[in-house]
Amino acid sequence: MTTKASPFRAGERSDFLSRALIGGSEMGLVWVDAVIRSPFTDRAVAVKALVDTGATLTVVPRRIAEELQLPVIGRRRVATAKGLMELDECLGVVEIMGRKAYTHILVSDDVDTVLIGAVALETLGFEVDPVAGELKEAKTYLLQVEDAYGEEG
């Protein structure tokens, strides 16, 4: 069961997005079609999400977390534009362009748009192409580190 969620509250845009608009266009912002799923039920919500490479974790509005019944696994202290806050931390699945990833998701009472953070983005194998204003496949690295004595470890 997948439902659609508007990225904005009825008739308004978030303050964050309003400040980000330049000359009426959303220059520099990357929007993607995403699906947020509960890892333990068949509940899912299709959303237009903002890719936020400055955010570590993905953030969803509380109404989406409640609709999906995302399991809260704890609380996390985070730095936001409003200062330090403590947010619920959940487990969820993020799907973008046919790829799915289990990830930690923060729940916010202040954000009305889904923000895709760097951890989900990297787990999904994407990076932002700033010229095209879209996601592209990222290189995934597996590096073996040697210690000071030249031994692998």
Q: What CATH number did the domain enclosing 6 receive?
A: 2.40.70.10
Lookup result for tokens 């990297």: 122
Asked if residue 148 belongs to a domain, the reply is: no
Residue 150 maps to a domain: no
Query: Cβ–Cβ contacts within 10 Å for residue 109, how many?
Result: 11
Domain membership of residue 153 (yes or no) is no
What is the pLDDT at residue 142? 80
Amino acid identity at 29: L
| pLDDT, tens only, 79-134 | 988 899 999 999 999 999 999 999 999 999 999 999 999 999 999 999 999 888 89
> By the 8 A CB rule, do 94 and 83 touch?
no
Write the pLDDT tens digit of every residue in 24-62.
335 578 999 999 999 999 899 999 999 998 999 999 999
Question: Residue 16 domain-assigned?
Answer: yes
pLDDT greater than 60 at residue 10: no
Q: Which of 42, 7, 45 is nearest to 26 (CA)?
A: 7
Categorize the per-residue pLDDT at 144 as very low, low, confident or very high, splitting at 50, 70 and 90: confident
Per-residue confidence (pLDDT) for residue 150, from 0 to 100: 64
Whether 149 is in a domain gets the answer: no
Give the residue, 10 or 49, on which the prediction is more confident.
49
Number of domains in the chain: 1
- Residue 107 belongs to domain spanning: 2-137
Say yes or no to pLDDT of 21 above 60.
no
What is the rounded CA–CA span in Å between residue 63 and residue 76? 19
pLDDT of amino acid 20:
40
In a domain, 77, yes or no: yes
70 falls within a domain: yes
What's the pLDDT score for residue 27? Answer: 55
Note the pLDDT of residue 151: 65
